[in-house]
Structure formats: structure tokens, C-alpha cells
Amino acid sequence: MSNPTVKSADGWAMFDLALRYLDRIYLYGAPGLGKTYAATHSRMDQSRFKTVQREVVNATLSDDIVLQELIGHYMPKGTEFVWHDGPVITAMRSGQLLVLNELARASAAVKDAMLGVLDGGSTAIPLPSGEIVTPAQGFQVVATANSSTDDLDPALLDRFEAVIWVSTPHPQMIAALDSEVKGLGTAVEASFKDSPERAISPRSAFTFTKLIKAGVNPKQSAQLAFGQRSADIVAAFKLAGVGAAA
Amino acid sequence: MPQTRSKRARKSKPTDVPIPAIPAGKGPFNVREMPPGFGASTNTLSPENTLYVPLGYDKESRAIRFHEYAHLELGKVRPDLAKYLDKAVKDKKQPIDPQWLQAGLDVIVNSMAQARDIEEIADLPLDDPKPTTPEYTQAMWLLRKLSLTQGRVPRNNKLPSDETAQVQNVYQGLLNLGQNYTHRQDKLDDKQYADYIAQALRKLQSFYDTKEAISKLKMSPSIAGMTNMMLRQALDGEGLSGKAITKMLGSESPFDITHKGPKAHYMYSDGKDSGWGTMSIVTLSMDAMARRRAPERKPSYVGGFRNAFRALLPAMDGRAWAIRRNKMGGTILLDMSGSMSLEPSDIVKLLKTAPLAQIAGYSGNKTTGTMWIMAKGGRYHNGIPEHPGNNVIDGPALRWLSQQPKPRVWISDGQVTGTGDGMQTHLLADAIGIVSRGDIERYHTIDAYLLGQPGDDTPYEE
């Protein structure tokens, strides 16, 4: 049994709502939609954290990331070894927001360890020193992934209080693109109304704006940013009145 | 460990190239390939948004796609335009013929694209009219052509000067509508915009007395274009069946895909008959003997059931073993046109899997073609005969195939042509009818046949 996925057109609004009230959220969607951006930026205005000065702790996972890199390990210092907290323990101790990027790509050992980290109120992580770390107030985890929940163990998935799917770029990314090049964000957003394979990656769109701002001509900027589809994309931009292309 | 779909590197497909959602402002789209020369279309009025366009990166394909994007943009900016234009078509006093309307809208969207600096639109293909083409069709051609030459009258315009001036006049009106197509630019609501279009086109329509001219047509070009599209899908085993297309076209259909009697008589807008070329059959000397080998083992998922013990020792790809089943006999018909690039080794490849098959190939030029019997009864002709590069005789060759021993296989890209190597709707319909009735299985390429992938074996991966 696992949490049902929230699949709705207003996935970002649901995510903002979940972030306000829940501690463990799984957010997934196509690459480049701004999942990490949303996880690290949206929480700053949440009223529940107003009195706590916190930072976001980010960890991007892959098959090669070992547990010690996340939990912590001893490091040589002079003639002795001293314990060094990893990002997970750092976030737990200080009640910070832990963003775990690409959880689905983590090794089996890391995923198993996350069962303990995501155990809610009963979370307690024993360290080699004998210390047992429990999360301070305010500890919150947002895990992001490109793939659906199929790649996650049901027990791990069940530990998330909400599983949210997003299918469009984050509204703040759209606004950022629009402010860089008039109409660009809106055009990129419109491309997501079609199948994901035909949508324009916001990352590519940011590359396009970077080149335009550097003075590269629109045609070459588009070729570098969008590759073979550049002519089609520029034509669509021109018709839609996107600033730099038109 | 087998890779999951999400971890597998995604290979882009040709249908991922177009970007219709931006100009349309909606989606998702069902994008399908239409080869250049078969027209293009878009429809966002039905619940399923469709876009039928060429998907290549060549100039022509791009220009066609950009033209369709402009149609989508016009539909987005003026959502009620289609409704008012439809009223103009159905107007009891002065109905606009859909052919004129399509030409007028093409001029508007081409002008829109050029006003937005989409220079590629000038590469839109527009075949020159034949000398026998009726004048009103030449006027439609000139109207469209002017929108691609920025108003310059082409040298091969055959219309008299007064008619040319009339067309130029209407073009100017449509050009203005295209260059200033947004509400902000022209201050016109959708009804007023539609009225201007209708007003401009009625001038030309009444001049050419289109109604009388159209009554001479057996099939309007717009219906022919749509039919072509549907028939191509039917040939790929997709979309509507041939029978359903015939039923849908009803009395307007000049052909009957399901016919069992004599072929219908087909006529074109220029009043000339068009059909298959005349086929002659040549049996080549067969000096070589096809090798018959013992059944070959190959990795397969079915091996576990056929040979359980061996299945416990998987091959390095993790699969078990099965026996390759040879296709021993039957008849294979090869399309030898240039687009198929047949080589001598291809015959040997086919005979390895079907050593007793009868193999024939065909191609033609202008009004005639030849079919060569290249293999039969385990013997084959060593080499490929000199052959012209066109099809021309697909129909007669398929009729021959439909009377040969089963299984009947046709290896062709499906680009059937008749005399003059022309692609014609009714010939496509005829070919589909023969394939359907003759229990013929089509493969795009020899490799697809050898791999057992019939129908639409597109060269990309999902």
C-alpha cells in the first residue's frame, strides 16, 4: 500500500499547500520543471517557520552516493579522527528543510537508510559514536524525482505524507523567463500543453536567454539551446511574438 | 538488471519535432507524418487536436510545418473566425467555395508568417499548373504564389493580364489582413475579419463562375487530399479501414475500395484518365540454388517453454533459446523503385528464411513496367535486372500477387504510383483494396520482413 499520487493541473499549488502543513513530501515530474527550485524557494515564506532561522540542505542522490556521505563519517584532523555530520544529520539536528534530489536514483543502501530518516516522529538515527540523533522541530524532507513512484519501494513511498506529480514548469520559472525575454516563459508554458516529448525544456530556454543576453544572434542562440528543433521552435516563438525571436 | 523505461535514454521520434502547442495555445496534439506532396492539415476544432505534416528537416518540410503553425496561430488569435467562415461557405445567396476559402486562408497565413520574419515560408512547394488546368485553378495557384513571392507575378503565370490584375487586387486585400491579423492591429472583431475575407474571395469566385467548373470535377481537391491522408493510414493498418473510408465518403467517392467487380472509371480535374501502367512479366534464368539449412537457434523468450533445461542456462543477454522458424514458401513481391534501393544480396537474404518462395520484383517508367520472376522452387536468378527507378505498375503487380500461393508478402514503402509516376488517390485506394482482399501482408523493408515487423515499422524507437 502506498500513498495515492496527487495528479492535477495545479500540482504546484498542491505542493505549496503540502509544504505548509506536511513534513515529508515526494515531488516528481519531467526534468527541468523547477522541482528543486520550488523545494528550496517556496518554503521561505511559510508562516510555520517564521521564528526559526533556517537554511535548506540539498543532496543530489545517485547510485554512487554512499550512505556515509549523507549521514556522516570520521575525518582525519591532525592526529585524530573527528566526526563530520552529513547533510541528513545536519538538517535533522537544526530542524532544516532537507531536499533529496533524484531519490529514485539512490542506491538500495541509501534508500533503506531513508526508511529511518523518513519515519516521522519516531525517527532516530544512531551514529557510530553511540549518539542517537532525533530530528529537531522544523525538520522537513522534500524528495524529488523525474520518474514516477514505480521505482520506489512501497515501504519508502508510504513514508511520504504526500506524493505530488507536476507537469508544467514552476510559475516562478515562467515569470523569470518572461522577465528575461518577453513572452518566452508563456511560450514555454504553452509547449507543456502538448505531450512532454514535444515540450520545451525550461533549462534550454534559460540557455537561450543566456546566449541572447550575451549578444549571440537569435538563430545561433536557438541552435545552441534547442538543437535540431531550433527552426521549428523559433518559428513558433516568432508567431507567438516572443521578444528575442520576433 | 533490465533497465526501466525511465532510466533508458529516450530517443526522440520524428513526431517529437513539431511544436504546435505554442501557436495553438492548446494541446495535446496527435501528430502524424504526411510525406511532402500529400498535403498537410491541422484540426483543433474536434476534441482531439491533430496535426498532419511532413516531419523532415529539409526546407520543404519545414516550410509546410511553419505554414500550419500560422494556421494554428490564426485560430488561436481569432477563435470565432472558423465559425463565421463556415457561415460564409453555407451562405444561401453567395456561398464561398471551400477551395477559394482555403486559397484565401493560405495567403493570409503566409502573409502572417512573412510579417513575423519567418523567411522559410518562401520554400513552400507549389507545383506549376499544367497548361490544361482550368483558369480558376490557375487563379488559385497565382493567388497562393503571390503570397510566396511577396507580390511578384511569376513568369510562368498563364492568366491574361486583366485576370492577373484581379488576382493581384484580391491578394493585396488578403495580404493586409494577414499582416495585421491581431485584434489590436486591425481593430476588427472575428465576424468583421471573416466578412472581409469572404468579400475579397467572392470577387474572384464570381469572376470565374466556380460553381460550374466544380460541377465538372469528380472529386474536389480538398476531399482528395483528406482521402489521400486516410488511405495512407489504412495502408499502414492504422486509422479507418478502407471499407470505412469508402462508406464515409459516400456518394462523393469516385471509387469503391471494397469493390469486387470491374474497376471504376476514374477522371481528374483536367478531364484526363489516369491509371496504372501496363505490366509485362519476364521470368529470369534461375541458375543458382537456394541453400536449405537446418533450423537455426536464436535467443528468445519462448525458449523456456520449448526447452526447459536449456532455459535454465540463459545466454549473456539473459534470454533463453528457441528454434528459428523458417518461412518455407509462399510469394514475395518486391517494390524495386528507387526509394527501396534493392541489392542482389537481398534476394539471398530472403531465400535464407524462405528457400522455396517465389520472389518477384517490379518497377516501371512513364506508362509501362516490368515484373521479373527472380526465384521459384528453390532456384534463383543471381543478380538484380536493370530496372527503371519508378513504380507505375503497383496495381497490376499486386493483382498478380493476389493470385499466387500464400503467404503473400509485399515489400514496399507503400508509395504507389501510376502512369507518369504520379501519386493518385484512386490508385492508392485500388492498392489498398487489392492488399485487403488478397490477404497480402506488407512490410516496409526487407529487414522489417526478416525481423517479422509488418505494417508501420517506423525507423525509430518508442
Task: Write out pLDDT tens, residues B276-290.
Answer: 888 999 998 888 887
Q: Does B118 touch chain A (CB under 8 A)?
A: yes
- B362 and B435 inside one domain: yes
B303 in a structural domain = no
Q: Does B181 touch chain A (CB under 8 A)?
A: no
Terminal alpha carbon distance of chain A? 52
What pLDDT does residue A205 have?
A: 95
Pairing mode of beta strands B29-33, A24-29: unpaired
pLDDT per position as a tens digit, B118-144: 999 999 888 787 777 778 888 999 999
Over residues B84-94, mean pLDDT: 87
Among A80-94, B236-250, B306-320, B400-414, where is mean pLDDT lowest? B306-320
- B134 and B21 inside one domain: yes
Interface probe for B, chosen from A194, A197, A234, A237 (most Cβ of B below 10 Å), is: A194
The residue among B82, B62, B85 whose CA lies nearest residue B72 is B82
- B167 and B283 inside one domain: no
Over residues B164-187, mean pLDDT: 86
What pLDDT does residue B240 have?
A: 55
Q: Which of B16, B65, B120 sits opposite A198 (nearest CB)?
A: B16
Q: Does B13 touch chain A (CB under 8 A)?
A: yes
Over residues B242-268, mean pLDDT: 48
pLDDT per position as a tens digit, B197-249: 999 998 888 777 543 433 443 444 455 555 566 666 666 555 555 555 555 55
What pLDDT does residue B225 have?
A: 56
Grid cell locating B41: 492539415
Distance from CA of B118 to the nearest CA of A (A): 6
The residue among B326, B304, B305 whose CA lies nearest residue B313 is B304
The residue among A213, A171, A210, A127 whose CA lies nearest residue A33 is A171
What pLDDT does residue B239 have?
A: 53
Q: Which of A197, A235, A246 sits opposite B16 (nearest CB)?
A: A197
B321 in a structural domain = no
Q: Domains, chain A, ranges and CATH?
A: 5-166 (3.40.50.300), 171-240 (no CATH)
B7 in a structural domain = no
Amino acid identity at A125: I
Interface probe for A, chosen from B4, B6, B10, B19 (most Cβ of A below 10 Å), is: B19
B2 in a structural domain = no
Mean pLDDT of chain A: 86
- B201 and B286 inside one domain: no
- The residue with greater pLDDT, B215 or A29, is A29
What pLDDT does residue B68 have?
A: 92
Residue B16 has pLDDT above 80, yes or no: yes
Q: Does B25 touch chain A (CB under 8 A)?
A: yes
Grid cell locating A194: 502538448
B150 in a structural domain = yes
The verdict on a CB contact (< 8 Å) between A190 and B116 is no
Residue B160 has pLDDT above 70, yes or no: yes
Q: What percent of chain A has pLDDT over 70?
A: 91
Residue-by-residue DSSP string for chain A: --PPEEE-TTHHHHHHHHHHH-SEEEEEESTTS-HHHHHHHGGGG-GGGTTS---EEEEE--TT--HHHHHEEEEEETTEEEEEE-HHHHHHHHTPEEEEETGGGS-HHHHHHHHHHTSGGG--EE-TTS-EE-PPTT-EEEEEESS-GGGS-HHHHHT-SEEEEE-S--HHHHHHHHHHSTTHHHHHHHHTTS-GGGSPPHHHHHHHHHHHHTT--HHHHHHHHHGGGHHHHHHHHHHHT-TTT-
Q: What are phi and psi of A145, to 5 degrees?
A: -160, 160
Say if residues B327 and B364 touch (Cβ distance below 8 Å). Answer: no
The number of domains in chain B is 2
- Partners of residue A236 in chain B, C-beta under 8 Å: 19, 22-23, 69
- B98 and B185 inside one domain: yes
B311 in a structural domain = no
CA distance B65 to B438: 37
Mean pLDDT of chain B: 75
B299 in a structural domain = no
- B95 and B208 inside one domain: yes
- Partners of residue B115 in chain A, C-beta under 8 Å: none
* Total-model pTM: 0.60
Q: Does A104 touch chain B (CB under 8 A)?
A: yes
Q: Which of B28, B57, B70 sits opposite A194 (nearest CB)?
A: B28
Confidence category of residue A152, pLDDT binned at 50, 70, 90: confident
* Cα dihedral value B310, B313, B318, B321, nearest 10: -20
What pLDDT does residue B143 have?
A: 93
In which domain, by residue range, is B363 found?
278-293+328-451
Over residues B35-39, mean pLDDT: 66
- B67 and B145 inside one domain: yes
What pLDDT does residue B325 have?
A: 46
CB neighbours of B363 closer than 8 A, spacing ≥ 6? B335, B336, B337, B369, B370, B387, B388, B389, B390, B391, B392, B393
Angle between helices A184-191 and A230-240 (to 10 degrees): 120
Of B215, B230, B246, the residue at which a domain comes to its end is B215
Amino acid identity at B126: L
- B286 and B195 inside one domain: no
List, as own/partner pairs, every contact residues B121-127 make where C-beta atoms lie below 8 angstroms and the sequence separation is at least 24, other chains included: B121/B63, B121/B66, B121/B67, B121/B70, B121/B148, B122/B63, B122/B148, B122/B149, B123/B59, B123/B60, B123/B62, B123/B63, B124/B60, B124/B63, B124/B64, B124/B67, B124/B148, B125/B36, B125/B37, B125/B60, B125/B63, B125/B64
Of B161, B180, B215, the residue at which a domain comes to its end is B215
- B283 and B173 inside one domain: no
- B210 and B285 inside one domain: no
pLDDT per position as a tens digit, B417-455: 888 777 666 677 778 777 877 788 888 888 878 876 554
- Partners of residue A150 in chain B, C-beta under 8 Å: 4, 6
Q: Does B4 touch chain A (CB under 8 A)?
A: yes
HSE (side-chain half, CA atoms, 13 Å) at A36? 15
Interface probe for A, chosen from B3, B16, B22 (most Cβ of A below 10 Å), is: B22
Among A52-61, A144-153, B160-169, where is mean pLDDT lowest? A52-61
The residue among B205, B175, B10 whose CA lies nearest residue B105 is B175
Q: What percent of chain B has pLDDT over 90?
A: 27
C-alpha R_g of chain B: 26
What pLDDT does residue B339 have?
A: 65
- B77 and B207 inside one domain: yes
Q: Does A227 touch chain B (CB under 8 A)?
A: no
The residue among B91, B71, B438 whose CA lies nearest residue B242 is B438
What pLDDT does residue B73 have?
A: 93
What pLDDT does residue B268 have?
A: 39
Of B215, B236, B261, the residue at which a domain comes to its end is B215
CA distance A239 to B117: 9
Helix (H) or strand (E) holding B311: helix B308-311
Confidence category of residue B148, pLDDT binned at 50, 70, 90: very high
Whether the ipTM is more than 0.95: the answer is: no
B250 in a structural domain = no
What pLDDT does residue B8 have?
A: 42
Among A143-152, A210-219, B250-259, B399-408, where is mean pLDDT lowest? B250-259
Q: Does A63 touch chain B (CB under 8 A)?
A: no
Among A70-74, B73-77, B374-378, B415-419, where is mean pLDDT lowest? B415-419
The verdict on a CB contact (< 8 Å) between B117 and A246 is yes
- B188 and B287 inside one domain: no
Say if residues A165 and A15 touch (Cβ distance below 8 Å). Answer: no
Residue B4 has pLDDT above 70, yes or no: no
What pLDDT does residue A211 have?
A: 95
